[in-house]
Amino acid sequence: MSAPQVSNDTFAVCDLELNQVSIVGIVRGFTPFVTNMQYSVDDMTGPPLCVKQWLNEEDWSLTSVPPGTYVKVIGSLRNFSGQRSVLAMNIRCIKDLNEITSHMLEVVQAHMLLFEKVLKGLRENVNMNPTAASLSGHGGNHSEGILPNGLSNIQGQVLRVIRRSCVLAEGISLQDLKSQLDYLSMRDIRASLVFLVNEGHIFSTIDEHHFKSAEH
């Protein structure tokens, strides 16, 4: 739901276009309309998702999915009047709870594959752009402490700037981070932030666009 919208009904995660998505969650409620059925599906990752399923005349004889039911939704992300929702191609009730475990494993695998590509691209960018690598000390000599092992050059630069803003209760905003690291692309900064959050080096504060070091 936080994926940037790059064009009409086109969204992206780390510059990879979103197409068909699969969601597993609990139906919290539903509202029938003349042409569609709208479900509120809670997949436990945030607020319940609005899932819309368009209906033909012959579909109205079908029984709607009652609240409290686990379902698997296959569809695509859409933006209707500023509200994001999932346009469902198929909604199926889950009877075997092993499907929930299987879906969680699929989510973990997709996450690993996605960010493996992101990290590989960052490493290639550093290796092919020695000028950017030489800017690791950009901004002067500051006392940010010893950086954790396993960070790329770009991730280290992002973490240094975030550590320098530890005196601020809300941390540093993404916009200020970009201003101080203007020689880096927003794509590289966002990818570094995702990695640093997942590894526990930083955390978001007042919203998804403010970050603070976990060591302060």
How many Cβ atoms sit within 10 Å of the Cβ of residue 157? Answer: 26
> Nearest 5 degrees, angle CA 23-CA 89-CA 20?
55
Q: Scanning the structure block, which residue is given the tokens 């499907």?
A: 99
Please report, for residues 53, 132, 151, 152, 196, the alpha-carbon distance to residue 122 in angstroms, rounded to integers and kept in the order given. Answer: 39, 11, 11, 8, 14
List the end-to-end C-alpha distance of the chain, in Å, as a whole number: 30
- Kindly give the residue spans of alpha helices, DSSP state H, lying in 51-166: 98-128, 130-133, 153-164
pLDDT at 130: 47
| Residue 134 confidence (pLDDT) above 60 | no
More confident residue, 107 or 137: 107
Instruction: State the pLDDT confidence band at 135, using cuts at 50, 70 and 90.
Output: very low
Phi/psi of residue 134, each to 5°? Answer: -75, -10
pLDDT in tens, 18-29: 878 889 999 999
Residue 152 DSSP one-character state: -
| Residue 138 confidence (pLDDT) above 70 | no
User: Is 0.85 surpassed by the pTM of this model?
Assistant: no
Q: How big is the chain, counted in residues? A: 216
Mean per-residue pLDDT of the chain: 80
pLDDT at 118: 58
| Residue 200 confidence (pLDDT) above 60 | yes
pLDDT at 36: 87
pLDDT at 199: 82
pLDDT in tens, 62-114: 667 889 999 999 999 988 878 889 999 889 999 998 999 999 998 888 878 77
Q: Scanning the structure block, which residue is given the tokens 């002067």?
A: 140
Q: Scanning the structure block, which residue is given the tokens 């998804």?
A: 208
Min mean pLDDT across 82-86, 116-120, 143-147 is at 143-147
Domain residue limits, the chain: 5-95, 98-134+148-216
Q: Which fold has domain 5-95?
A: OB fold (Dihydrolipoamide Acetyltransferase, E2P) (2.40.50)
| Bridge partners of residue 31, in order along the sequence | 38
Instruction: State the pLDDT confidence band at 137, using cuts at 50, 70 and 90.
Output: very low
The listed CATH number (3.40.630.40, 1.10.3720.10, 2.102.10.10, 1.10.10.10) that belongs to domain 98-134+148-216: 1.10.10.10
CA-CA distance, 9 to 35, in Å (whole number)? 20
